A and B are shown apart, each in its own frame.
Chain A
Amino acid sequence: MSDPSKEWPLWEVFVRGKGGLSHRHVGSVHAADGKMALEHARDTYTRRMEGVSLWVLPSAQIVASDPGDAAALFAPAEDKVYRHPTFYKIPDGITHI
């Protein structure tokens, strides 16, 4: 095994496809810097399609929620119906909601 401390850091890759509305996490790449991460992400995840937007960010910069805290973090909203905008009629013309 190679020494992990000598490897390039990990970057998370987010892609917004042609006509896509938001960036979606698609995977990760190893790269020495952001520019290289973008190039690698482009090769690995987009096959260089045109009209695609790419974001990369160092994995170390991501703060994730603890699965153990899921109940405390996400449950309270469920029994508070006033938190859910389900009482409104949405006009037919509205998409992407």
Chain B
Amino acid sequence: MENALPPLAAYAARLGDDSLILGQRLGEWCGHAPALEVDLSLSNVALDLIGQATHFLGLAGAIEGAGREADKLAFHRDVMDFSNCLLVEQPNGDFAQTIARQFLFSHYQALLFEQMAQVEDERFAAIAAKALKEVKYHATLASDWVVRLGDGTDESKARMTTGLDWMWRFADELFVMDDVDAAAIAAGAGVDKAALRADWDTRVDAILADATLARPAARRPVLGGRVGRHSEHLGHLLSEMQFLQRAYPGATW
């Protein structure tokens, strides 16, 4: 990776990439959701996430100090340089699959930002404090839908079960710690993600119980997103997202 960022910048980029890629995925729903109001909810969540991405990628660029701003990082990096978790790049599938992804991710983000809002580094703390209000809403929204679909009709329950099953193997990656995390914690900016797991399990299990859904069986976790080893889905997503900037590099808009 020739564009490798210094550790603290890489840490900010990971946070930004998570929000950016999920925001892009949710944008794909625009005009296609099951109801007008749901369309609006998904777009709202997408906009919140794109806002977070702008802040975190802007911070990553500022820490790197090489003149790369948020747009540059979003539109001029290739698959190998993206460090989002694998969960957020998974395809939307049906509505239940999208909700499953949102549910697992938003509860993780809520726990993460609760901690990050307290860190020493004011830049990270400030973005996290702003984002926390948003992601709490996302988590509630997704949880409500997990319950509605899980405890709805036979069909919706089956779809919710399948959606969770698809996304479940990507959940473990959210809590994996590595050198970049350790460096960020040492710099007073990072959060011990592994320590969030117990709370995440408790929250997720409570909603699943409410939704009369069984917790999917544990399976071999799929890892690699944080170091640029992605599923086959991300390349296609980026080619669509970055088309204009690739065709007209450096254009102002």
Which A residues have a C-beta under 8 Å from some C-beta of B?
A: 8, 29-32, 35-36, 39-40, 43-44, 48
Contact = CB atoms under 8 A, between A and B. Distances in A.
Contacts, number: 26
Given A36-B144, A39-B41, A44-B40, A30 B137 contact: no
Nearest to B41: A43
Interface residues of B, number: 11
A44 B37 contact: yes
Contact of A40 (B37, B140, B148): B37
Contacts of B44: 43, 48
Interface of B: 35-37, 40-41, 44, 137, 140-141, 144, 148
B40 A43 contact: yes
Contacts of A30: 35-37
State the main secondary structure of chain B at its contact with A.
helix
Contacts of A40: 37, 40-41
Contact of A43 (B37, B140, B144, B148): B37
A5 to B, nearest CB: 15
A15 B35 CA distance: 22
Nearest to B36: A30
B48 to A, nearest CB: 9
B197 to A, nearest CB: 28
Given A30-B36, A48-B137, 18 more contacts: A29-B37, A30-B35, A30-B37, A35-B144, A36-B37, A36-B148, A39-B41, A39-B140, A39-B141, A39-B144, A40-B40, A40-B41, A43-B37, A43-B40, A43-B41, A43-B44, A44-B40, A48-B44
Counting from the closest, the 4 A-B pairs by CB-CB distance are A40-B37, A43-B40, A43-B44, A43-B41
Nearest to A41: B37
B144 A31 contact: no
Contacts of B37: 29-31, 36, 40, 43-44
Contacts of A48: 44, 137
Contacts of B140: 39
Nearest to B147: A35
A32 B144 CA distance: 12
Contacts of B144: 35-36, 39
A27 to B, nearest CB: 12
